[in-house]
Each structure stands twice: as structure tokens, then as C-alpha cells.
Amino acid sequence: MWGIGKLSVNDDIIIYQDELESSPRPKPPRRYVKWLKRLAIVAVVIGAAVAAYLVFNLSKVSVNPFGFGKLKGESDGRVNIMMLGVGDPGHAGEKLSDTNIILSVDTRNHTVAMIGIPRDLRVDIPDYGESKINNAYAQGGLKVAKQTYEDSFGVPIHYYVKANFTGLKDVVDAVGGVEVDNKQNLYDPEYPCDKNQYRSCGFRLAAGRQKLDGNTALKYVRCRKGTCGNDFGRAERQQQVMQAIRDKATSAGTLANPVALGKLVGAAGKNIETDLSINNLMRLRELTDGLDQSRITNVVFNLDPDGFLISSNNSSDLVPASGDFDDIQLFVKSIFTMGPIWAEHSRVVIENGTTTTGLAGKLQDQLKTKGYPLGLETITNALKRDYTTTQIIDYSGGKKPKTVDYLKHQLKVEPTTPEALGLPASAIKPGDVVVILGSDYAATVSGSSSTGSSSTGSGSSSTR
């Protein structure tokens, strides 16, 4: 399995790995199991593999008995971890990163965001020029990959985690498999064979709730042809499996089973590389204690019409829709506010309900400077131009709560509904959320001017 060695938490608590698998199994010291449980709970933040990796190396790392200290970035309120998944040694493209994720921890509000980055995104790699982001580690190693992430996404990278494919397979098997909700029938006719990566054997998985072993989980997160949805579908499934591992690794069945924990240790110890120390991980556990799914934001940059990326010259390469990384950087910096809003994909319509020129455009610009997701809003003129107070009308039936709440706080206006306004059920739905700006908003905007018009028509674009 993983051979004989020792895991040491302190001088008086030592348990040998081979003893974990012997029969009958001696009951491990309570304090040792308690430490293993705490470390497994760290999987809520960065996946079971890293926690296990550090348990594997406890004999090499000293734990500060007087506290775990602050993490890099904690004083600024945010810790960013670069997570890379690469191939196994000897496999085709072994150094290319198929998995590219920025995991961010909001240390003040105790929330987590996972930002999935497609491997075909073109970026500038320091000292190597423009290329796909999955080449950053392959060309320059972790130092260059870290700098590439910082330059491209505008946030500091404080720590890194790198894992290979075997690590994922072994970790999933170590926890007894994971369950996922597969959204659609998957078929990748070009998926390589298990024993010959240069031949295609294909991969199929039916839609619905599925329990995956390690080998199937790896195929699930790597397939990208056929109905697998290219890089974007793969990025979503990667985050899905990471959360499934987290759930299984922190379940009562795993935490109460020293043998299962021991297998997790062995699986990760051979396949994970990170600069997070044991003290770092224990501090992360403190910061994310009690974390549940409602406090985890999952975002994948994709080619949605309201997304941040477009294809480059009909190739597989992806580039920013706006022509540069400014909008992407602003979004990443504001991920804890804007991530949940972006995930709702709300259609927001901003209407100018006054005769003040350019009012809707000014609100659009205001939202953009705060990192509001690009392309989710449209601007126009209201049919009436004599609104004295601003309205936020929720046409979604309560299905877009994050968007409505954000606009409420930005405009300091209580939302309403079509029903409350007496609109018939047959009324045309202009968007999920409609903002009609009144003269109260115009009074707060400097540099605006009245057209002097009292038109009740839709108006020209210049008055928006």
C-alpha cells in the first residue's frame, strides 16, 4: 500500500502507518484522531487531498502550540490559492495544466469562491510570450504560473496546490468513491484508453445521480469532446468533484474511520505539492469553520453570451470579450460580491424614467466600476418620463434574490413586484429585474442635464 513510516503530531503521539491496516486494529489515541479530523475538515477549503498531504508530512512540519499565525493576505481580507491539475509523469502533455482554479477565502466574512479558468485562455506568460494559460506551468514552473495568474487576473496569489491525475483517482478511491449529479448523458468518443494514452477508447456516463470510483471520476473531470462540453463543461465538473470529495472526506463515516483517513493520507502524499504549511491549513480551518454550500461561490469563465470570453478567429483559443483583461480583473477582485450575482444570470433592464439625459447609462457605468458582470444589463428609456422615485421591479418571482438584493443596497430602494403595482399577469416581462430611474436618482448624479422634453415615447438612445 504505502509502506512503513510514521505520522507524528508531537513526541508523545506516534502511530505507524502499517498499524492502521493491521487486523485486529488497535484503537488509535484520541488526540491523534482529533488532529486527523481537524485536518480532514480543512478539505472544505481546498479539497481532501491537501489536508491528507500535510498529515502525511506531519513528521517534517512543526506545529506552533501557541497559535497558527496569520495567513498571507489575511490582513487584507482575502487569501488566494492557485490550484493546478497536471498529467502523470510519462503521459502526453504531462506538464500542461488541465485544471486551473483560483480558490479565494474571504477571511472577514468567512466565505469561499472557486473561479474556474479554461485551459485555452490566451494570456501573456512572463519571459515566454503569449500562449494558452495551461502552458504557464509547463514552460516556467510554479513561479512563472503564479506570476501569470497575478498578471492576468489582478489579484495576488498567496499559495499554490499542484496535483496530478493519479492523486485524484487515489483520493476518490480512498474515500470509497463520490456521488455526483450528472446533468446530461456524456459521451466523449476521443477519450484515451487507460493503458495507451495515444489511442481512443471513448467514455460514456448516463445522466442522473452517479457514484464514481477514482478512474471514472478522472474521466468525468477530463472528458472534453462530444457531449462533454469542451473546457467549460470540464471546469464545472472539476469543481463538482472537488466538492463531492470534500463532502465525503468530511463525512462522519470517513472522520470516524482511521483506516479510511490513513488511505487518504497515502493517496495524497505521493501526488500533491503545496507551499501551505500545517499551521496555514489549521488557520484556514479556523477561518472557514462551519462553512456550508450556501457560502461557496462557483464560477467558470465560459462563452455564454453574457460571459467574459469569446473565441479567437474561430479557433479553440479564448480571449477576453472586451479586448483586454480589465473587466475580468475587476470581476475577480469583486468575486465575493459579484460571483453569486453572475451565477444567477439575471436579465436586468435599466430604464430612464426622467428627462435627464444619459441617466440609465450612468447607472450602467456605476455598476461596471463596482465589478458588475459584463453583459447582464441593458439600458433603454421608460415609456413614461415623469417618475419621481426610482423603482426596482422583480419580475423573476423571487428567483433572482442576489441580484435584487444587490440593486436594493446600491440604489437604497425597496424592491417591488408586478403584482404589487397592479400589473396584470399577462403583462410583458421586459427582464428578470427592471430598474426605472426617477428624478430622485437624477438628483444624486452630477454632470447630468435635462432635455426639457416631456415625451412619453421610448425616446432616442441619446437620452438614456
* 375 lies in the same domain as 333: no
* 366 lies in the same domain as 231: no
264 neighbors 169 (Cβ within 8 angstroms): no
* 316 lies in the same domain as 360: no
Rounded Cα gap, residues 364 and 327, in angstroms: 14
- The answer for residues whose C-beta is within 8 angstroms of residue 460's C-beta and 6 or more apart is none
- Residue at 36 is within a domain: no
Stretch (H or E) spanning 212: strand 208-212
Q: Look at residue 27 in the predicted model and tell me its pLDDT.
A: 46
Confidence at 333, pLDDT banded by 50, 70, 90? very high
* 177 lies in the same domain as 220: yes
146 neighbors 158 (Cβ within 8 angstroms): no
* Mean pLDDT within 257-283: 75
Between 100 and 251, whose confidence is greater?
100
Give the end of a domain, one of 338, 373, 399: 338
Q: Look at residue 380 in the predicted model and tell me its pLDDT.
A: 92
| One-letter amino acid of 162 | K
* 79 lies in the same domain as 113: yes
Rounded Cα gap, residues 151 and 268, in angstroms: 30
Between 425 and 384, whose confidence is greater?
384
Give the end of a domain, one of 274, 307, 338: 338
* Mean pLDDT within 226-253: 79
Q: How does the average pLDDT of the chain come out, rounded?
A: 78
229 to each of 119, 212, 235, 445, how far by Cα in Å?
13, 19, 9, 44
* 236 lies in the same domain as 128: yes
Between 109 and 151, whose confidence is greater?
151
pLDDT at residue 455 is higher than 60: no
- Which range, 135-149, 256-270, 305-319, is most confident? 135-149
Give the dihedral sign, CA 50/56/60/66: positive
- Please provide the DSSP assignment of 389-408 as one string: S-EEEE-SSSS-HHHHHHHH
- Residue at 418 is within a domain: yes
* 213 lies in the same domain as 321: yes
76 to each of 80, 104, 197, 278, 396, how far by Cα in Å?
11, 12, 45, 21, 36
Q: Look at residue 463 in the predicted model and tell me its pLDDT.
A: 60
- The answer for residues whose C-beta is within 8 angstroms of residue 427's C-beta and 6 or more apart is 418
pLDDT at residue 189 is higher than 70: yes
- Residue at 15 is within a domain: no
Segment 1-21, tens digit of pLDDT: 233 222 223 333 232 333 333
Q: Look at residue 446 in the predicted model and tell me its pLDDT.
A: 57
Q: Look at residue 399 in the predicted model and tell me its pLDDT.
A: 94
Q: Look at residue 306 in the predicted model and tell me its pLDDT.
A: 67
Provide the number of structural domains found in the chain: 2
Q: Look at residue 66 in the predicted model and tell me its pLDDT.
A: 53
* Mean pLDDT within 220-233: 85
184: cell is: 446530461
* 227 lies in the same domain as 186: yes
* 209 lies in the same domain as 349: no
464 neighbors 360 (Cβ within 8 angstroms): yes
Q: What is the CATH number of the domain that holds 234?
A: 3.40.630.190
* 365 lies in the same domain as 301: no
Which of 193-202, 414-423, 428-437 has the least mean pLDDT? 193-202
- Please provide the DSSP assignment of 341-400 as one string: HHHHT--EEEEE-SSBTTHHHHHHHHHHHTTPPTTSEEEEE-S----SS-EEEE-SSSS-
Would you give the end-to-end CA distance of the chain in angstroms? 68
* 119 lies in the same domain as 224: yes
- Residue at 25 is within a domain: no
- Residue at 157 is within a domain: yes
Give the end of a domain, one of 338, 372, 393: 338
Segment 38-81, tens digit of pLDDT: 443 343 334 444 444 444 343 344 445 555 789 999 999 999 99
Q: Which residues pair with 350 in a beta bridge?
A: 379, 435
**Class of residue 259 by CB neighbours under 10 A (exposed 0-12, middle 13-18, buried 19+):** middle
Determine the Cα angle at 118 with ends 137 and 109, to 5°.
90
- Residue at 263 is within a domain: no
pLDDT at residue 26 is higher than 50: no
* 371 lies in the same domain as 230: no
Q: What is the CATH number of the domain that holds 436?
A: 3.30.70.2390
pTM comes to 0.67
- Domain span including residue 325: 74-245+292-338
- Residue at 251 is within a domain: no
Q: Look at residue 67 in the predicted model and tell me its pLDDT.
A: 59
Rounded Cα gap, residues 160 and 72, in angstroms: 12
- Residue at 57 is within a domain: no
Rounded Cα gap, residues 387 and 311, in angstroms: 42
- Please provide the DSSP assignment of 404-448 as one string: HHHHHHHHT---B-TTTTT--TTS----SEEEEE-HHHHTT-TT-
pLDDT at residue 86 is higher than 50: yes
Q: Which residue has the cell 474521466?
A: 219
